[in-house]
Structure 1
Amino acid sequence: MRVQVAIVGGGPAGHLLGQLLYKAGIDAVVLEQRSQDYVLGRIRAGVLEQGTTDLLTEIGVGARLQREGLVHGGVGLGFAGSHHRIDLHGLTGKNVTVYGQTEVTRDLMDARSGAGLGTVYEAENVTLHDFDTAHPRVTYTKDGTTFEVHCDFIAGCDGYHGVSRASVPADALRTYERVYPFGWLGVLSETPPVSEELIYANHERGFALCSMRSHTRSRYYVQCSLDDKVEKWSDDAFWDELRSRLAPEFAEALVTGPSIEKSMAPLRSFVAEPMRFGRLFLAGDAAHIVPPTGAKGLNLAVSDVRYLSRALAEFYGGSEAGINNYSDTCLRRVWKAVRFSWWFTSLMHKFPDDSGFGPKTQAAELDYLVHSQAASTALAENYVGLPF
């Protein structure tokens, strides 16, 4: 097979890149290790920045998003027993939209299938070759037969554990990492959300987040220790713990019910530099991970592949400036999102073995944040998404 771009990874980043390249007249194939049902079965968050929703609409995959997405013009902060609203739209003129990452992926898959474009699912033993030359290629096995894809470029959109970053020589890569000393216990339930907008809660017992997937499906999280186990938490224990961390009006209004999914997730910040190696480009989680506190993971992947699609279009138009600057361009935005996610995580969570200085400074900063328009605007600008 001969294509211009081989995309490794069939999640939202890979399929979005495929759609962007298709709109630019660039031929690409998507190679995904898992089945389509497996990819669509992964439970992921879905707070989309304004720039993400605008881009999806621009390329023709935003119709269902516009119908079903929940547009939020604000976000709640809970601390010291009180609730405070940050007016995102009033401070920035922008909104965020709650629309599951799985639904974004489904819309992109449907668009690709509808256009008759090539996606190979259950591609095993994917191997990257010769990406330090002008003639890279990718081999994979499907149904016991080995196939070879010749291409001009390889886009590594296969996540943190994928083959793309692992194929880069260790001495060509520099990584930065911060592992947080806690995790999130998450519950999905068929219950109405406790609030029309997300609530981030800082409490002496630990952080809590009230989110949603729809008007009838809620997603809640509580901070937990890294050695905690899902099996230790009954539904009743989870609801009691969540209720204890919310302001009284929300604790009383909380509607509980059986969990339909329960999971434990560690938190980390991770960045790999650079994001280009010859004819191989890393994008999304293949290059960086942020804690979910700031809702930046999917949105960073979107900005990466937007930069990459434009760079490749420029290349086929006769200029190498875009591909030469790809890594630096992405990393400027990545590090700003990493900073925001780290700051917001540090502000809202209880850290172990704290002497008392941390909670006092958190309380002071939260009080300043909700009473200073400048501070509220800084949070809002980052939350709705910096320009890309």
Structure 2
Amino acid sequence: MQIKELPKEFITARPILQTIEKAGYEAYFVGGSVRDTILNDHIHDVDIATSAYPSEVKDLFKKTINTGIKHGTVMILDHQQKYEVTTFRTESGYQDFRRPDKVTFVRSLEEDLKRRDFTVNALALKEDGTIVDLFSGLQDLEKHILRAVGIPDERFHEDALRMMRAVRFASKLDFVIEDKTEAAIKHNAPLLKKIAVERILVEFEKMMLGQAVIQGVKYFLDTGLYNYCPQFEGKQAPLSKLLELNPNNRLTSESQVWLLICHTLELSPEQSRSFLRAWKTSNELINEVESGIRLFDAIAKNTVSEKLLFRTGRNVLEDTINVLFAINSKIDTQMLLSRYEHLPIKSTHELDVNGHDLLTAGIITPGPQMGIILNYLLEGVLVGQFKNNQSELLLEARKYTSKNPES
């Protein structure tokens, strides 16, 4: 098979391959970029593999960086572009089920491709567009099948994260996992405990953001992988609710993923913080999810106030609404958006008075009273009790302090 029109990402990188080949070595585009090109999907990273050893690659280019030279990877800087070029290699001795104890550079493309995870990722592309397919990856792409290269057990013992990559690709590509590969995932699922949470997190989020998320979740549950993820052990019943997601609605952000998960597990705002810390998510995401859960709770109790909408903010509100669509909720989301849009202010910076104004007007002295008064004025503006006008707000502040001198 030959690709007649290469994507611009390959065309831009083509001179790198040509330079290596002119020196008498082999060079190919490899991995996900080749797969995605065939599937007409967006290309993310362009990876290059070569028969040239790292020192030989460095001799061919003026500007290089030793990004992972122990494992054969050299970064080439060319016309403000960066390309990682990796020498063909074999690996052995995966005692931690993640990294090889030994890496051996080889000149054989076949030996290099044999160590890759799935047949659809074991394709190589020449600079002229010719596809090199040594493991029937093209056939699996055509049939939408995800199959481990060689013996599945060996691939998953080399890197146990590949099991999560399998369910992620099933979701992302809408592929079916081949029977022997799925059976090996079930058998080796406990090995996932050997993998860092941060690496599992990335694959799980990508699975939940895929086009066939229900399929990905089904594999995630059926293979037992969920039991070896933080806080998921024994949670098959609540997680099974994810199989009822709206297939026509896709999640679009990590915040939505975790808001959905926390809502599905019926976690309180406080419980969500502990849960997400176990997954080692960012503090920013933890705060966003907690805010979304508070909004969920208020929606369920029909107690959504203007102050809560203000505190929630547009981004979290939109995340919550998309999750409501995902779980087929009958909530009037348009009304929520309309109420938010009609808030007189949407940021504390828009309040027409600040602490400096209160001090300058001699209404208060520095101390905790400042925050109390500003919050009082903010709530008054949000519910329409006060106009967002500095003179009126200063007047209301004076009234408040006269009635509550000790506050």
TM-score normalised according to structure 2 size: 0.20
Larger-Rg structure: 2
TM-score normalised according to structure 1 size: 0.21
Which structure has the highest helix share of the two?
2
